[in-house]
Structure 1
Amino acid sequence: MASFSVFVAVAITILGLLIQGSSHPQLSPDFYSDTCPDLLPIIQHQVQLAVAEERRMGASLLRLFFHDCFVNGCDASVLLDDTPTFIGEKNAVPNKNSIRGFEAIDAIKAAVEEACPGVVSCADILTITARDSVVELGGPYWDVKLGRRDARTASQAAANTSIPPPTGSLDQLITSFHAQGLSVQDMVALSGAHTIGLARCTNFRNRTYHEKNINGLFAREKQESCPRTAGHGDNNLAPLDLQTPTAFDNYYYKNLLVYKGLLHSDQQLFNGGSTDSIVHAYAENPDAFYSDFIAAMIKMGDNKPLTGTDGEIRMECRKVNY
């Protein structure tokens, strides 16, 4: 009888854990199919408008997703404004004067709220927007998994330490991505996002004047818009992919093969190290790059999501609900 009582107690405990676990549903592409059936076309249309107004915006929206996910998971914490009583992530070193596109997210959120008030998280909006930005610039489509909720907190300290810097060595980059549950292959594939977008002079000045593993003509061209002295031309911009800066393709990797990576961290992927073979593969086979990029984006989006009753669904992406 005693053993039977023990069995019952164990069974009840296991059942309780299963019930508790079910309160945190898994992410799913169909999460909003009943509660907001027009969500995907609404966001797609808004992204198309934003990119049509400014082609660079596609890269900016994709970058917002990266900078969000690398700080305590994809929870839209990067969108929160500072207040007198709240310190967000926008003024962290990797983000200040760098990440942008917040007004575009505001417009997308407003359109979604008009159709489905209080239903769709800002975290999921960022996830869909990243995918749609890639597609709008000619890249691949994939089904995004949804069901995230929004953080009520942010961490400027984590943003300062978790987001990979443009000066990072290969080992530092590998460590940074590994901390997010991402492999070396994931890292090289996700770095291909630099096939679109621009970088500030302050982030590539040292490379163009002092590094040896850079094409000489390419370096001199960059020096024309990026003076040697700090404080001069810091905000001047250059394309991360000099060939097709507004098209999502594999030219980023082709540029690395001829030492025309704009950032130090870019060229580290092809510099006689363990990732050279992956860069070669992606430069030769865009389909391989697309396939691995999709897998890595989904994997990054799965990292530590807030689900169930955790977090909240923000009414406005810039501030928590009150």
Structure 2
Amino acid sequence: MITLQNVSRWYGQVIGLNDVNCTIGPGLTALLGQNGAGKSTLMRLVTGQIKPTTGELKVFGMEPFANPEVYRRLGYCPEIDNFYEHYSGRDFVRFLARLDGMSASEAKIRTEEVIAMVGMSDRANRKIQGYSKGMRQRIKLAQAMLHNPDIILLDEPLNGLDPVGRREFIDVLGGLAAGGKCIVVSSHILFEVEQMTRSILLLHRGRLLATGDLRDIRDLIDKHPHKIRIETDNPRRAAELLAPLPNVVSMSFDRKGDALQLEVRDPNSFYDSLSGIVLEKQLEIRSFSSPDNNLESVFKYLVEA
């Protein structure tokens, strides 16, 4: 549905997107990157708000810039709010439905459908100016789905949602993707993306660093030692038991003396061995975590590779 061939976008002397090649089809695709990576630029290009400086961008086989034929099949949920604050959420969505060309009866029916999908039926009569960030995000998604578009683009849609709201929001997106829609979601938080999809595009400073299944991207990290922190009342015993494991590269004690810091290769294999040692040797562990298990580390390893 979306294809980019050698697409670049410059803002004067600043590079927003640099020679990007990719194809995005039906299903849910996550657009990952830190702030300034080029995610919003890519969104604005696909939605036809700006033109590529160089390269070719096609949506449904057409150039999206100033193209109503493309707009009719796109839904967009921008990161920045721009509401009529004195409207209620229901009135705002219905107003946009009428602008889309729906009759009064069609607009009313469709408004109730999309408001129900985003879990706002019981709060839609409140004025938008009194909405929380999460409620605003839901109404933005509702308006993006009004005209039943084939492609829906959402720029940082989970910002401001509580854990329950995020789970519900992700379920809605998953249902749309399962129905054949092309959903593109930008985010800079890896654990959120892992709950949504395995298909990702990884951007850094305007360049596309990696694309494909998240497990394949993870493999890029697994070639490097992973840092793991284990909290235990007996870190020295833990060190004695874990040191012989073949995938342990190094270890050290935390300054407070209640934790063990390790570097390991093939972390999945290490976790399997760790669980076996805990059961067999009755090793008591309060918690363990990996500071490398995040998006920032993915970028670090890819950039330094």
Sort the TM-score into its range (normalised by shorter chain): under 0.3
> Hey, which of these two has a bigger chunk of helix by percent?
1
Larger Rg computed on CA atoms: 2
TM-score, normalised with respect to structure 1: 0.24
Higher strand share: 2
When the two structures are superposed, what TM-score results if normalisation uses the length of structure 2?
A: 0.25
Instruction: Tell me which of the two structures has the higher relative contact order, counting C-alpha pairs closer than 8 angstroms and 6 or more residues apart.
Output: 1
